[in-house]
């Protein structure tokens, strides 16, 4: 080869290497809700932080509203590496074979957000993430979407009102048992299909936090809503383990920090988003809103609490007991404090008896 052509080949090689080196690492982040929800806004926030802080070495492409995949498909896509990041609700890990996440679906398990965060951020949260590793998944953070409300085309005041109603649920056996305990007929369905199923009467009602209900326009096809706070909905932000482990260490550190900061942001906006959504549903005039009185909450709770016992083995007795202990500890600390102004938390009836007594020390 002549010197000139050798030099030009070398130059080409260098140029193409430079292009390759400048190619950003792409993180496809798929989710099923609207961009203007706690999860949607947090996904966009993470994108901004990740791209700014890595100075463009990472590009995060967010796909909201089940644009790429529905609930079940997105889990498979993550494992196959077709997307790199998801934030499925904690009720959607059962089909993966990791049933302990259904702890969070147990009706009335968290009397307030403080107990919930301690569960997520402590040993229980860490152990749950460890269980994902064998599935090729790494857990990065827990995000919040608050407590769920019940809706239907008829008033839902008493247990009688649930008899025979077809209620859409997420793919969780605990939620299935919860609806059965109420006398309803649970129907598992992907989130993206709920609006049209409600509209066409394929199902009669559903449960979700207000931000999901409002942004999917479910209130337009649900005449009645009961503010019941009977259960919780939150998320695990997860990544494909192979992808995550293969990132340059400095990039991974920056992304971990961006995720931690996004989690603080997400938890801060979750309640605000749900309060705003409730105000908008009220203002829309489509849906009659009923706040379940305390005396009836206790009745609902008594009907649903046997579900805790029923799932002890599947979820893990230790997990459930540890969550009870944390709730009891938070209650103790609150009682020891001077009276504080009413919290914005939307807890279930904290005072009603739990299914099992906290362990004696
Ligand atoms: C649902 O399917 O109802 C929720 O999990 C949707 C979500 O991700 O908030």
159: exposed, middle or buried (C-beta count within 10 Å: 0-12, 13-18, 19+)? middle
How high is the mean pLDDT of the chain?
A: 91
Mean pLDDT in residue range 272-299: 97
What are the C-alpha distances in Å from 59 to residues 19, 24, 28, 33, 43? 16, 6, 8, 21, 13
Whole-angstrom Cα distance, residue 146 to residue 346?
Answer: 8
Ligand 1 pocket test, candidate residues 70, 233, 234, 273, most atoms within 8 A of CB: 233
Whether residue 6 is predicted with pLDDT greater than 70 in this model: the reply is: no
Whole-angstrom Cα distance, residue 295 to residue 322?
Answer: 27
Protein residue whose Cα sits closest to atom 8 of ligand 1: 89
Whether residue 126 is predicted with pLDDT greater than 90 in this model: the reply is: yes
Ligand 1 centroid to Cα of residue 245, in Å, is 28
Protein residue whose Cα sits closest to atom 3 of ligand 1: 191
Ligand 1 pocket test, candidate residues 29, 31, 33, most atoms within 8 A of CB: 33
Closest atom, ligand 1, to C-alpha of 31: 8
Closest atom, ligand 1, to C-alpha of 71: 2
Ligand 1 centroid to Cα of residue 151, in Å, is 15
165-214 per-position pLDDT tens digit: 999 999 999 999 999 999 999 999 999 999 999 999 999 999 999 999 99
Q: Which domains does the chain show, CATH number per domain?
A: 22-336 (3.40.190.170)
Whether residue 139 is predicted with pLDDT greater than 70 in this model: the reply is: yes
**Under DSSP, is residue 205 helix (H, G, I), strand (E, B) or coil?**
strand
Ligand 1 centroid to Cα of residue 157, in Å, is 24
Instruction: Give the ranges where 54-147 is alpha helix by DSSP (H).
Output: 71-80, 113-121, 123-133
Phi, psi of 152 (to 5 degrees): -165, 180
Distance of CA 185 to the CA centre of its chain: 23
Task: Give bridge partners of residue 149 from the DSSP assignment.
Answer: 208
Ligand 1 pocket test, candidate residues 175, 208, 213, 237, most atoms within 8 A of CB: 208
Q: What is the pTM of this model?
A: 0.89
Ligand 1 pocket test, candidate residues 66, 175, 212, most atoms within 8 A of CB: 212
287-332 per-position pLDDT tens digit: 999 999 999 999 999 999 999 999 999 999 999 999 999 999 999 9
Please list every protein residue whose CB sits less than 6 Å from any atom of ligand 1.
32-33, 39, 89, 145, 170, 191, 208, 212
Contact 210, 34 (CB under 8 A): no
């Amino acid at each position: 080869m002549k010197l000139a052509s050798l030099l030009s080949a070398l130059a080409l090689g260098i140029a193409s290497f430079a292009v390759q080196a400048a190619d950003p690492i792409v993180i496809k982040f798929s989710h099923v809700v609207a961009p203007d929800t706690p999860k949607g806004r947090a996904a966009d926030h993470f994108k901004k932080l990740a791209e700014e802080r890595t100075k463009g070495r990472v590009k995060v492409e967010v796909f909201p509203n089940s644009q790429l995949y529905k609930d079940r498909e997105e889990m498979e896509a993550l494992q196959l590496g077709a997307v790199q990041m998801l934030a499925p609700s904690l009720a959607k890990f059962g089909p993966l074979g990791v049933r302990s996440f259904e702890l969070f679906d147990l009706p009335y398990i968290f009397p307030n957000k403080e107990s919930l965060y301690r569960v997520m951020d402590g040993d229980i949260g860490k152990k749950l993430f460890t269980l994902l590793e064998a599935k090729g998944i790494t857990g990065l953070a827990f995000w919040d979407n608050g407590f769920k409300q019940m809706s239907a085309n008829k008033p839902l005041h008493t247990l009688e009102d649930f008899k025979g109603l077809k209620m859409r649920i997420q793919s969780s056996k605990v939620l299935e048992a919860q609806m059965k305990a109420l006398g309803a007929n649970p129907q598992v369905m992907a989130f993206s299909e709920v609006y049209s199923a409600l509209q066409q009467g394929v199902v009669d009602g559903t449960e979700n936090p207000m931000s999901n209900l409002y942004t999917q326009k479910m209130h337009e096809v649900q005449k009645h809503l009961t503010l019941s706070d009977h259960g919780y909905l939150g998320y695990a932000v997860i990544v494909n383990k192979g992808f995550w482990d293969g990132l340059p260490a400095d990039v991974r550190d920056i992304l971990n920090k961006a995720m931690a900061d996004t989690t603080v942001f997400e938890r801060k906006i979750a309640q605000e988003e749900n309060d705003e959504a409730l105000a908008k549903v009220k203002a829309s005039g489509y849906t009659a809103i009923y706040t379940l009185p305390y005396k009836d909450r206790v009745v609902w709770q008594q009907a649903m609490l046997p579900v805790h016992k029923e799932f002890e083995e599947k979820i893990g007795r230790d997990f459930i007991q540890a969550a009870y202990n944390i709730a009891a500890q938070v209650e103790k600390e609150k009682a020891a404090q001077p009276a504080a102004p009413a919290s914005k938390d939307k807890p279930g009836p904290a005072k009603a008896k739990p299914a099992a007594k906290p362990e004696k020390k």
